[in-house]
Amino acid sequence: MQRFVIEGGKRLSGRVSISGAKNSALPIIAASLLTANRVVLNNIPDLVDVRMMIELIEYLGAKVEFAHHTIKIHTPKLKRIDAPYDIVRKMRASYYVLGALLVRARRAKVSLPGGCAIGPRPVDLHIKGLRALGVDIDIEDGFINAQARRLVGHDVNLQGPKGTSVGATINVMIAAAGAQGETVINSAACEPEIVDVADFLNAMGFDISGQGTHTIIIRGQASTRDVEYGIIPDRIEAGTFAVAAALTRGRITIENCRPDHLTIILAKLEEIGGKMTRGEKTVDVRGYGRKQAINIYVAPYPGFPTDMQAQFMALLSITPGTSTIKETIFENRFMQAVELMRMGADILIEGDTAVVNGVRKLSGTYLMASDLRASASLVLAGLVAKGKTIVRRIYHLDRGYEKFEIKLRGLGACIKRQRE
């Protein structure tokens, strides 16, 4: 077990380069199983989750080389059609192989997923969408058992009780790419990672349009070609460093990012009092202005991302006035609040809303990380806390941030990794 030890009070400044998007890399690696041709993927982040996905597709029969942020994948033949519990329990995104296995083998057995403990994330929309394409599915002993004599295009509506689903949109899109006929996904998710997966499938030789809107059209076909593709930068990592600049009253130039993917995040930082200068692939964030309280409403893209509310909670903890964060997607997404309160934050949780009263300072202490984004918020809080902050269970961070402490040290933070 490892931990971070942080000495707070350093104003961050400098330049930081953003890694490839984890939430694009994982489904795109899974989608590589669609083809027997060769696939080369660039700008892949070296993360625990990426290594786990590589382990899974190798188990299924892929030949993989991974070095210097490039993955070379060749799957001339599948050896297995099952995704075992020991892999899937560690990384929810493992279920993205479901659609690809159905295209290649017409059968799949995938364990129900694990991942961060941030509330129920049912697979009902995945099942609904795949059944519409002609897949027979039953759930038994914790596994999704799926088979289809053939996949047939169909109209699919992915509207759920809490809106649309990124995962279901991707899984149905991957399966529909190899189906016969046309599939229309209504109430599709619009996240940039959806667009990235669709663009990769098109580069592979499939025919997808409408990505980035709530209606995606997939004209299924069987032919594919060799492909080399570079994934987009990680908007959540970029947003986390933007918050770090605002929190420490520093100045950080975020490089290799997509400012158009950060619109709502940067707008909220400007509302708090930060100053932004946007370039083509950079954002210069200046956080030394006067700060004021804001209200945040979490919503699917292009709304405020649920993956950024924990980091903003750390910032709002020391922002004068009373701010609110309403979480509409996950039920247990305020798990960082208790730890922040141990540092002196004044936070009241009322159902799906956090009321944050800004305090003058936070104090360093021992903290326990509960999930990926909560971990990031505790590290950010430690950067401004008085004294020493120790964040335990940082394996969560290694799932989603590449060389996080190294990048922070490059900006002037006093942070080191230690064994327990």
Q: pLDDT, tens digit, for every residue of 148-206?
A: 999 999 999 999 877 789 999 999 999 999 999 999 999 999 999 999 999 999 999 99
**Do 370 and 336 meet the contact criterion of CB atoms below 8 Å apart?**
yes
The predicted structure's pLDDT at residue 117: 41
Position 8, amino acid: G
| Pairwise CA distance, residues 378 & 6, whole Å | 10
In the numeric block, which tokens belong to residue 394?
A: 């940082």
The predicted structure's pLDDT at residue 120: 40
In the numeric block, which tokens belong to residue 204?
A: 């592979």
The predicted structure's pLDDT at residue 122: 60
* pLDDT tier at 389, thresholds 50, 70, 90: very high
The predicted structure's pLDDT at residue 330: 74
Is the sign of the CA dihedral 235, 237, 239, 245 positive or negative?
negative
Radius of gyration (Cα) for the chain, nearest Å? Answer: 21
pLDDT over 80 (residue 116) = no
Side by side, which strands form the sheet with 251-255? 13-17, 251-255, 283-286, 275-278
- What's the angle, vertex CA 345, arms to CA 313 and CA 362, rounded to 5? 100
pLDDT more than 70, % of the chain? 97
* pLDDT tier at 121, thresholds 50, 70, 90: very low
pLDDT over 60 (residue 114) = no
The predicted structure's pLDDT at residue 201: 98
The predicted structure's pLDDT at residue 370: 86
Mean pLDDT, residues 327-356: 92
**pTM recorded for the entire structure:** 0.95
Q: Which phi and psi (to 5°) does residue 11 adopt?
A: -85, 120
CB neighbour list of residue 141: distance below 8 Å, 6 or more residues apart: none
Q: Where in the chain is the domain with CATH 3.65.10.10?
A: 2-19+233-419, 22-230
**Do 404 and 397 meet the contact criterion of CB atoms below 8 Å apart?**
yes
pLDDT over 80 (residue 332) = no
* pLDDT tier at 316, thresholds 50, 70, 90: very high
Position 276, amino acid: M
pLDDT over 90 (residue 338) = yes
CATH of domain 22-230: 3.65.10.10
| Pairwise CA distance, residues 377 & 359, whole Å | 16
Position 364, amino acid: G
The predicted structure's pLDDT at residue 113: 66
pLDDT over 80 (residue 92) = no
CATH of domain 2-19+233-419: 3.65.10.10
- Three-state SS across the chain? CEEEEEECCCCCEEEEECCECHHHHHHHHHHHHHCCCEEEEECCCCCHHHHHHHHHHHHHCCEEEEECCEEEEECCCCCCCEECHHHHCCCHHHHHHHHHHHHHHCEEEEECCCCCCCCCCCCHHHHHHHHHCCCEEEEECCEEEEECCCCECCEEECCECCECCHHHHHHHHHHHHCCEEEEEEECCCCCHHHHHHHHHHHHHCCEEECECECEEEEEECCCCCCEEEECCECHHHHHHHHHHHHHCCCEEEEECCCHHHCHHHHHHHHHHCCEEEECCCCEEEECCCCCCCCEEEECCCCCECHHHHHHHHHHHCCCCCEEEEECCCCCCCCCHHHHHHHCCCEEEEECCEEEEECCCCCECCEEECCCHHHHHHHHHHHHHCECEEEEECCHHHHCCCCCHHHHHHHCCCEEEEEEC
pLDDT more than 90, % of the chain? 84
Enumerate the active-site residues.
Answer: 116
pLDDT over 80 (residue 89) = no
| Pairwise CA distance, residues 12 & 251, whole Å | 6
Nearest to 334 by CA among 357, 314, 320: 314
The predicted structure's pLDDT at residue 112: 79
The predicted structure's pLDDT at residue 119: 39
The predicted structure's pLDDT at residue 124: 86
